[in-house]
Structure 1
Amino acid sequence: MKKLMLDVVVCLFFLAHWAPVSAAQAALDEKAVADFYRGKTVTLLVGHSAGGGFDTYARLIGRYLGKYVPGIPNVIVTNMPGAGTMISVNHMYNSGARDGTLINSFDGGIVTQQLYKTSGVKFDLNKLFYLGAPDSFLYVMAVTKQSGVTKFDEILGTNAKEVRIGAVPNIGIEHASLLIRNVLGGKVKVVSGYKGTAEIRMAMKSGEVDSVITDWGSLRVTNSPDFESGEWLIFVQLTEKPIEDLPQKNVPLIYQYTKDDEQRELFRMGIINPNQYARPYVLPPGVPAERAEALRLAFERALADEKLLAEAKKAKLGINPLSGDRIRDLISAGLSMPPKMRDKLRPILLPGG
């Protein structure tokens, strides 16, 4: 009994003397973070071109992020497009600021480049600090009416019609096109080399290409009038489940065209699962822990801001946040793909590699 009472006294002593110290330390840490960020500018570096979905999300988040960071820094958005966002990630990883003033928004499709150890990879995605993501990708294949093709079935089979699909190298937009061509035998000409979806959409308007495979959330924002007028059609959904708000009825899932379990798994591992980690926001290695955590919390709070959500709804932007931990785990799993599946997907995910 005496020993029990002594233990209780000791516990009470430590609670009385150490709990206030911990609270003071937490306040001191926040003050230190605020002192650092006060008067500074945080840059949101977007790896795709201006005007596309990545840019639209970044500019929305940038308008609200700063007020949730201690010290309330200014937040600006800049674009560094190229190589499917690899240019921006290489820049961030090797020469970008590591003090918490640089955040990168890249395309999760570049996981493939690290998976296959391509020469252009000058980064390690496992070493980044993940803030989270505002949403996932839900891919659809959009085709212009002027292409003369009216449904997905028409690009399959012996009398198939050809569709020219615009693509960005190294990422899901290209991977999805190659999956349709290589796995299903679709009559597809992949026109790669574009820096972002904004350029591809312009090419569709001019007749340079017929199609793009990209996120419905982005197309809903940028091209709703084209779908409403019938000038653009949705041929197929490259998703696990049907998208609820498509302007067309009865748009088939890609799984309806796969012939066996292996084909379904190739689409699942090659594009549908990776689309879950398609829009990560990250910090480079070496950012002080308290600043990284402050930015993570600010990112989380910004995406829950009522004004941001109202603005997103008005702009038809989906906000379905994924945590930084969840994104990190998904990317780690993608980089640990079973060797057999990795080898089968190599010609698709790394064409010419």
Structure 2
Amino acid sequence: MELRNLWRLPLLAVALAGAATGASAADFSGQRIEILVPYEAGGGTDIYARFLAPILSEHLPGKPTVIVNNVAGAGAIAGGNQFEQRAKPDGLTLIGIGTSLTANYVFRDKRVKYKLANWIPIISSPNGTVVYANSALGVKSGADIAGLKQKALVMGANNATGGDLRVLLSLDGLGLKAKEVFGLNRGDARPSFERGEFNLNFDSTAAYQIQVLPMVQSGVAVPLFTLGITDNTGAIVRDPLVPDVPTYIEVYKALNGKDPEGPEQKAWLAMFNLNIMTAKGLALPAGTPKDIVDTYNKAISEVVAEFSNPKYKSQADDIVGPYPQALGEAAGRALRGAATFDDETFNWLKGWLNKNYQVSL
């Protein structure tokens, strides 16, 4: 399957995909349900989970309490492993899926003990990425990126093989060399950027809208580019949440007079599909009985329908945006498809990571 077309896995599937239609035997009256988020509080996946939790509570039978528990560490591996080892298939524990969690699985990190492909996603949500700089660098927009090639850029990141790879490949494609300080989640890196310790940073569009836009409005931060989003023809277009910010491909073309191509672009597209088109999600553990899965599928379809409710619309616009949501079985197909790389792309990335970051996959 062409990497460009991975988005065609039923992301347009839309709000009732996979939802249960009949009565379900599962009832969560008096129960407490945990969404395990394998990241620090304040990051994109945490914001996503905390937005969905109270709405999900309202639509699950018995209206159980739904809490978010942050289990951060090792680029989301600690939380992923804990979920794999401890979560029972009783519907009382879900995991919040983010890009690093999926990427570490894809790149076969030896610390990964979780089997992501066996989990049962109930929702998979696209989410954009915005790369931004400190205005002290003298930039006013993405049109000024060429001037950053001579600057000493410093950026916080988690690791070279996690979800951050989408940005590392983008910077490399644009000829920007940054000193990365690894070991930091987005929720950790952003305060360092605010304090002036880093002059380059990136966030999910959800986190950008809530946490970074005030810095842009005050003149501290300047958005440089987004990774874009695919439209219904498969073309990568501007992110509808930040339509005034150019895409990586636009900036690349402005710098080089042509569209990106070759093995690096194929690798970039692979990471785009993994990190953008299936950026966030919720999943149940492997082996969860059908009646519980059906109950969650019905509930999550009702949750998505609530996004247009005036009570939630403002938050929904910021956190999930206008992007199509893949639900139920469609969510499973989307996530499994995005987490599968062909050998050529995997081997090229292995070589690139070894050369640039001395990382062996």
* Deviation for aligned residue 1:48: 1.6
- Equivalent in the alignment of 2:202: 213
Larger RCO: 1 or 2 (CA < 8 Å, sep 6+): 2
In the alignment, structure 1 residue 339 sits paired with structure 2 residue 328:
no
SS, match of residue 33 in structure 1: coil
In the alignment, structure 1 residue 244 sits paired with structure 2 residue 240:
yes
* Deviation for aligned residue 1:247: 7.6
Name the aligned partner's letter for residue 320 of structure 2: G
SS, match of residue 84 in structure 1: coil
In the alignment, structure 1 residue 153 sits paired with structure 2 residue 142:
no
* Deviation for aligned residue 1:251: 6.3
Structure 1 residues 97, 38: CA separation in 2 closer, same or farther (over 3 Å shift)?
A: same
* Deviation for aligned residue 1:105: 0.2
- Equivalent in the alignment of 2:14: none
* Deviation for aligned residue 1:93: 0.8
C-alpha RMSD of the superposition: 2.6
Please list the CA deviations of residues 189-216 of structure 1 after superposition, one character each: whole Å capped at 9, or x if unmatched: 112111x222111000111111222222
- Equivalent in the alignment of 1:179: 169
SS, match of residue 179 in structure 2: strand
- Equivalent in the alignment of 1:305: 306
- Equivalent in the alignment of 1:136: 126
In the alignment, structure 1 residue 222 sits paired with structure 2 residue 211:
yes
- Equivalent in the alignment of 2:5: none
Q: Distance in 1 between matches of 2:103 and 2:301?
A: 27
Larger radius of gyration: 1
Name the aligned partner's letter for residue 33 of structure 1: A
Q: Mapping of 1:16-95 within 5 angstroms?
A: 27=23, 30=24, 32-34=25-27, 37-95=28-86
* Deviation for aligned residue 1:176: 2.7
SS, match of residue 235 in structure 1: strand
The TM-score normalised by the length of structure 1 is 0.81
- Equivalent in the alignment of 1:289: 290
Name the aligned partner's letter for residue 103 of structure 2: T
Please list the CA deviations of residues 126-167 of structure 1 after superposition, one character each: whole Å capped at 9, or x if unmatched: 11001113x3121121111134455322233xxx21211211
Contact 1:175-1:349 within 8 A present in 2 as well? no
Q: Distance in 1 between matches of 2:238 and 2:183?
A: 30
SS, match of residue 121 in structure 1: coil
Q: Unpaired runs of 5+ in structure 2?
A: 1-21, 229-235
Q: Distance in 1 between matches of 2:307 and 2:260?
A: 45
| Number of corresponding residues | 318
In the alignment, structure 1 residue 114 sits paired with structure 2 residue 113:
no
Q: Distance in 2 between matches of 1:42 and 1:241?
A: 38
Contact 1:66-1:74 within 8 A present in 2 as well? yes
Contact 1:218-1:317 within 8 A present in 2 as well? yes
Please list the CA deviations of residues 73-129 of structure 1 after superposition, one character each: whole Å capped at 9, or x if unmatched: 111111111222221111111112321100110213333322332211101111100
More helix by share: 1
Contact 2:238-2:246 within 8 A present in 1 as well? no
Name the aligned partner's letter for residue 107 of structure 1: G
Q: Which shows bigger deviation, 201-210 or 319-328?
A: 319-328
Please list the CA deviations of residues 35-84 of structure 1 after superposition, one character each: whole Å capped at 9, or x if unmatched: xx111111111112112222222112111112211222111111111222
Please list the CA deviations of residues 253-312 of structure 1 after superposition, one character each: whole Å capped at 9, or x if unmatched: 354256534333222112355321110200111222211221122122112125766424
SS, match of residue 151 in structure 2: coil
In the alignment, structure 1 residue 274 sits paired with structure 2 residue 275:
yes
Structure 1 residues 208, 297: CA separation in 2 closer, same or farther (over 3 Å shift)?
A: same
Identity percentage of aligned residues: 20
Contact 1:144-1:210 within 8 A present in 2 as well? yes
Name the aligned partner's letter for residue 26 of structure 2: V
Q: Distance in 2 between matches of 1:116 and 1:306?
A: 34
The TM-score normalised by the length of structure 2 is 0.79
- Equivalent in the alignment of 2:264: 263
SS, match of residue 164 in structure 2: helix
SS, match of residue 94 in structure 2: strand
- Equivalent in the alignment of 1:233: 222
Please list the CA deviations of residues 228-266 of structure 1 after superposition, one character each: whole Å capped at 9, or x if unmatched: 222110112222211234385656635425653433322
Q: Distance in 2 between matches of 1:251 and 1:302?
A: 30
